[in-house]
Amino acid sequence: MAHPIGTPAGTSLTSQAPGDPHDSSVQFEEYLYYASLTRTFEAQQSEANITTRRLSAFWRRFGPMHDKNSQPKAENSAEKSAEPKPDPKISPSSTLSSQSLVSDEDWYHIARARRAATWGTVFYLITTDILGPWSVPWAMSKMGYGPGVVLYTVFGAFAGYSGYQLWRMFLNLDSYKYPVKNFGDLVFRIYGRWARHCSNVLQSIQLLFNVGIVILGNAQSLSQVTRGSLCFVICCVVWAAAGSLLGQIRSLKKFSWVAHSCIWVNLIIAFLVMGVAANSPPNFEAALANNGVPEGPVVTHAGSPPEVGFQAELVGLMQSVYAYGGAMIFCEFMSEMKRPWDFWKGMICAQGLIYCCYLLFGLFTYSYQGQFTINPVYQGLSPYAWQSVGNVLAIVQCVIYGALCSNIAIKLLWQTFVQEGFKGPDIDSHVGQILWIFLIPLYWFLAFVIATAVPQFSNISSLIAALCIQQFTYTFPPILMLGFEIKKDAMQEGEGFDPVTRTVTRRDSGWRRWRRGIAKQSPVKLFNLIFALGAAATAILGFYSSLRAIIESFEGAHVATSFGCASPVILNTTRTHRF
C-alpha cells in the first residue's frame, strides 16, 4: 500500500542510502516521501538536543558531584565525538559502486554531517550576497524620490516572497537520499532535465558576470586611490589575482566569519559616505567621466527627473533588481544547513536589514549629491582621503563577495559537467581538491575579460540584472511554485510512494489530473502566473535598455575603451601611466 505524503510510517529514518539526484525515473511523489522523512527526523533530533541540553545544564548546576570547570568540556567533547565527519572519499557520486560496502545507517550519518550551517550563518551569507547599497543613490537619481521608494519597496517585498517560495519547495523536495544542492535541482524535480540544464547555464552566466563586476568595481577603486597612475587593465589584473587566492576557500561554512566581517564593513562605508556627502560637494570630475554630467548645482526630484529618458529610468530600475538579487544561491545555503526549517529566520532578518539600509542610505545620499551621484557611490566622494578610505574598505568586501560567487559557480559547473557529463569524482575528493586550485584562477581570468571588455559599471550590472538576476529572483520562483503546487494538489487520498515496492500509485493522469491540480487554490496560482509574466516583461525591457545604454556610452566623449588604460572614473585621459 502506498503511504500518503506526511505519514512515512514503517520506514526507518536512517534508511536513506543516497540515490542519483538527477535520475529521470524518480517521480515527484518519491521526492516528497523522502523529504517528509528527513524533515520529521530533523524535528525529532532538534527536540532531543534541546531536552538534552536542558537536562545537562540542570545536572551541572544542581548535581551532587558536578564540576563547573570540567563538565562543559566533557559534554562538548562528547557532542563533537558523536557528530560524524563527512569522508571526502565517500560521496553521492560514488553511490552505485559503494552502496554494498557502506550501510544505510552510515550513509545517513555522512549525509547529515555534511550539513553544519545554522540560520545565523545563513543570515551573514545572505547579507553578504545581497547587501550592496552603493547603486541605490544612482538609481534614485534616475527615478526620483517617489518612484524610487515605491520600486525598492515593491521589489524588496517580492524578493522576500520569492525566497519564501524557494524555502517551501526545498523543504518538500530535499532529503538525505535526494539532496537539493542548487537551484537547478529544484527545476529538475518540477520541470525535468532540459529545464535544469537551461537554469544551470543561466546561473553560471550570472555568477561569472557578478565576478566580472567585482573586478571592474575594485579596479575603479584602485584607479582612484592611485590617482590614475596605474593602467586600468593592470588594476583589473590585480583584483583577478586577489580573487583567485581567496577563492581557494572551498567550504561555505568557512566563509561565515569572513561574511560576518563584510556586514560591518558595509555599514562602516555607508555611514562614512553619508557623513562625507553631507559635508562636501560631489565629485564633479568622476560624474563627468562616468555619467557625462557637467558641473552645476545639485538638483533632486520628487518624481521622475525630466532630463532622464525612459530608457535611463529602466536602467535605474534594473539597479533595484540587481540590489535584491541573491535568491539564485538560496538553495546552496539551505543545502548546508543542519535545520533547513530555520532558513526563514536568517532570510527575514537579512532582507529586513537590507531594505532599511537601502532606503536610508539611498535617500540620504541622493539628497546631497543629486544628479552627480555615480555608481558605486563611494567613488563619488570629492575629498581624496575619504574617497580612498571608502575605496579600500569596499575593495575588501567586494573581493570576498566575488570569492563566494566563484565558490558557488565552480561547484555548480563541476556537478553539471564533471560528475554528470563525464562521471568524474566528487568536488570533495582528492582529485577535486587538486583541480579546484587551477579552476578558480581560470574562472577569475574569464571574469577579467568581461570587466575589461565593457568597463561600464552601471550598464553592465543592469544588463546582467535583466538577463539573469530578474529571472532567478522574480520570474523562476513563481513559475516553479506554480508547477510544484499543481503537481502536489493533483494528488488524491491513497496516492503516493510505496518504499517497499518502490512504486508510485496514481489513480488517473492527463487533463483530469491537471485540472484538479489547477483548481485547488486557483487564486494563488493565478497570482504566481501574473507575477512571473510581469517579471519576464520587465526583464525584456530592461535588457533592451541596458544594451542600448552600453552602445551609446561607447559613442560618448568621455568613456573608457575596451582593454584600454583609461579609467572610467578619471577624467584626464591624457594622463601618463607609470605601468
pLDDT band at 240, cuts 50/70/90?
A: very high
Cα–Cα distance for residue pair 424/438, rounded to 1 Å: 17
Residues 187-204 pLDDT 10s: 999 999 889 988 988 888
Q: Is the dihedral of CA 390, 392, 397, 403 positive or negative?
A: positive
Amino acid letter, 403: A
| Angstrom distances, CA of residue 331 to CA of 93, 142, 258, 335 | 19, 33, 20, 6
What is the mean predicted confidence (pLDDT) over 491-518?
Answer: 88
What is the mean predicted confidence (pLDDT) over 377-406?
Answer: 89
Query: Is 82 or 40 the better-scoring residue by pLDDT?
Result: 40
Residues 280-299 pLDDT 10s: 999 998 888 878 888 899 99
Q: Is the pLDDT of residue 92 over 50?
A: no
Domains of the chain: 110-477+536-554 (1.20.1730.10)
User: In terms of DSSP H, where are the helices of 298-383?
Assistant: 310-324, 330-335, 343-369
The cell for 339 is: 535545520
Residues 561-575 pLDDT 10s: 788 888 888 875 444
Cα–Cα distance for residue pair 192/247, rounded to 1 Å: 32
Q: Is the pLDDT of residue 150 over 50?
A: yes
Helices 430-453, 232-246: inter-axial angle, 10-degree rounding: 160
Q: Is the pLDDT of residue 331 over 60?
A: yes
* Alpha-carbon Rg for the chain in angstroms: 26
Cis, peptide link before residue 18, omega less than 30° from 0: no
Cα–Cα distance for residue pair 450/88, rounded to 1 Å: 34
The cell for 576 is: 601618463
User: In terms of DSSP H, where are the helices of 87-192?
Assistant: 95-98, 104-113, 119-130, 136-143, 145-173, 183-191
CB atoms within 10 A of CB 284: 16
Cα–Cα distance for residue pair 204/183, rounded to 1 Å: 11
Termini Cα distance of the chain: 75
Q: Which of 206-210, 344-348, 372-376, 422-426 has the lowest mean pLDDT?
A: 422-426
What pLDDT shows up at residue 238? 94
What pLDDT shows up at residue 253? 64
What pLDDT shows up at residue 265? 85
CB atoms within 10 A of CB 332: 20
pLDDT band at 448, cuts 50/70/90?
A: very high
Q: Is the pLDDT of residue 237 over 90?
A: yes
Amino acid letter, 266: N
| Angstrom distances, CA of residue 249 to CA of 96, 162, 259, 408 | 29, 29, 13, 11
Q: Is the pLDDT of residue 18 over 80?
A: no
Q: Is the pLDDT of residue 111 over 80?
A: no
CB atoms within 10 A of CB 306: 8
Residues 19-74 pLDDT 10s: 777 888 899 999 999 999 888 888 877 665 555 555 555 445 555 544 444 444 44
Q: Is the pLDDT of residue 84 over 80?
A: no
DSSP state, 293? P
Mean pLDDT of the chain: 82
Burial class from Cβ neighbours inside 10 Å (0-12, 13-18, 19+) for residue 530 reads exposed
pLDDT band at 256, cuts 50/70/90?
A: low
Quick check: 305 and 371 in contact, CB under 8 A? yes
User: Which residues fall within 8 angstroms of residue 122, CB to CB, at 6 or more apart?
Assistant: 333, 334, 337, 342, 343, 346, 347, 350
